[in-house]
Each structure stands twice: as structure tokens, then as C-alpha cells.
Structure 1
Amino acid sequence: MTQEIGTLSPSALLEVLDELASLVDNAKPVFMSQDVRVDRQALVGLVDELRHGLPSAVERSDELLRQAQDELDDARRSGEETLAVARQRALELVEQEQVVAQANARAADIVAEAEQQATKLRADADSYCDARLESFADDLATLTAQVQAGRAKLAERLGPDAGRPRWDHVRDPEWPEES
């Protein structure tokens, strides 16, 4: 396999490893031993390819892993921020609802208090009017008694036969002449 050193892709690295394994598997065995004879130049060439290609592939893998971790961290932060905003909004809505409920309760208390005051004011006004009317009735009774007493006095002076004078029979008084 011939690729430029230092630019091996992950699949190219696997191919080099496969070639290395194939080289060992296909090597000629040494007589009466488990050892094998391998083409030194081919083996060194494959190991050099791995030695030069593996660090860049590992770096590339590390970079991809860092990018993935950064994206995961960003997503996690974004999710936590979204969750925090949602919790804050939920709290605001709950507080707003509590404020509305408290305002409604306070308004109901104010209305009830106003109705109680209005009932008391009506009762006080009715009592005042009743007292004034009773006072007027007493004054009228006193005035009626005075009028009746005055009429009785007048009837005594006039006598039983006096009757009422007719105004059309009353003579004009004589007035002194002007000088």
C-alpha cells in the first residue's frame, strides 16, 4: 500500500495492519520451530507507515473527540440555560398567579368591607331621619296644640253667637288725611 506518510485515514491504517498481519501469516516457517521468516524490508516499511500515520490519525481522532465533547458541552449548557429560563418563567407565572389570587382576595375583602360600611351608613341615616321626623312630629303636635289654644281663646272672645265676620261686609277704615 502506498500512501503519503502522515496522511493515513482510519481505514488506511486498518489496511496497513491487515497487510502486516497477512505478511506474518504468509511468512515461511523456520524448520523445527514456531518462528517464521519475514521479509524485513516489507515489515519495516509497514511499521514505518504505521509509525508515521498513526500519530496523525490519533491526533485527528482526538480532535474529533474534542469537537464532539465541545458540542456536547455546548448542548448541555444550552439545555441547562433553556431549563433555567423555563423554570424562571414558571416561577414568574406562579408568582403572577399568586399576585392575582391575592389581589382578588383583597378586592373581595374591600368589597365586603364597603358593603358593611354602606349597610351601617344606611342604618345610621335611617335612624337620623327617624329621629328628625319624630322631632318634627313633636314640633307639629306642639304647634297644633298652640293653634288650637289660640282658636279656643278667640272663640271665647267672640262668644257663641259671634260667628265669623264676612270680609265683604267690613267697612273700609277711615284714614286721616294727608297734610
Structure 2
Amino acid sequence: MSASAVVNRAELLELLDELKNEMGGAFSQADRVLRERDDLVDEGRREAERIVADARNEHDRLVSDTELFRGAQRRADEVLAQAEVEADSLRKETDEYVDGKLANFEITLERTLEAVHRGRERLAGRSALDSLTEDEVDKIKLPEHLEG
């Protein structure tokens, strides 16, 4: 016995190509999800800033009259509160969306890792069989569906 193992090169290269393809897709999907999240957050921020700017403009327009100013102040406070609620809602929706995409990405990575483990187990199994003598191989009882 030696520390070396004979590996089917074509099979190993195929497994490595499969891993490379799955990882590339998974990383590009993660990048896309993060870009989408950033775009959604930026859009929400711009909308909130627009709402706040609209509220300030409305406030400035109504400052001249005290009664109108009080009404405008109340409305500006409502608009600001509404903008904060909308921004929080957008942030939560974005976080849920990104979490879902990352969960899918995690599943893809786990499946890829399982494929790697299966490949390594197959290689290790072959290595163990290579070290058996003919007598030991003859003594191995195969499952019924594999006997022929």
C-alpha cells in the first residue's frame, strides 16, 4: 500500500467542472441579489428624500400665516412620519427579498458541497477496494439487486 491513490482523471475533471460551473452561477446570483437590494434601498432612500423635500417646500410656502403654518407643520410631521414608515417598510421588504435570495444561494452551495463530498467518498471507496485481494473481493456479499 502507498499513500498515492489512482483517480479517474476524466471523472475528477468532470466533477471539478461541475463545481466550477455551480459556484460561478451561485456567485453571480449573489452579486445580482446584492445589486438588486442596493438598488431597492437607493430607490427607497430617494423616494423618502423626495417626500421630505416636498414637505419642506410645503412648509416654507405656508410659513407666512401662523394658522396655516401650524397646519403645515402638522402635515409636514405626518408626511415625515409616513416617509419614515415607508422607508422602514421598503427596508424590511428588501431585507426579506435579500434573505430569500441568500437562502437559495445557501441551498445551492450546500448541494454543491454535497456533490463534492459524494465525489470524494466515491474516490475513497475505490481506493479501499483497490487494496483488497482477490479472495477478499470474492468474499464480499453484494446486495440482491446487484448480484447477477
Q: Normalised by the size of structure 1, how large is the TM-score?
A: 0.41
| Higher-Rg member (1/2) | 1
Q: By percentage of residues, which structure has more helix?
A: 2
Higher relative contact order (CA 8 A, sep 6+): 2
Q: Normalised by the size of structure 2, how large is the TM-score?
A: 0.49
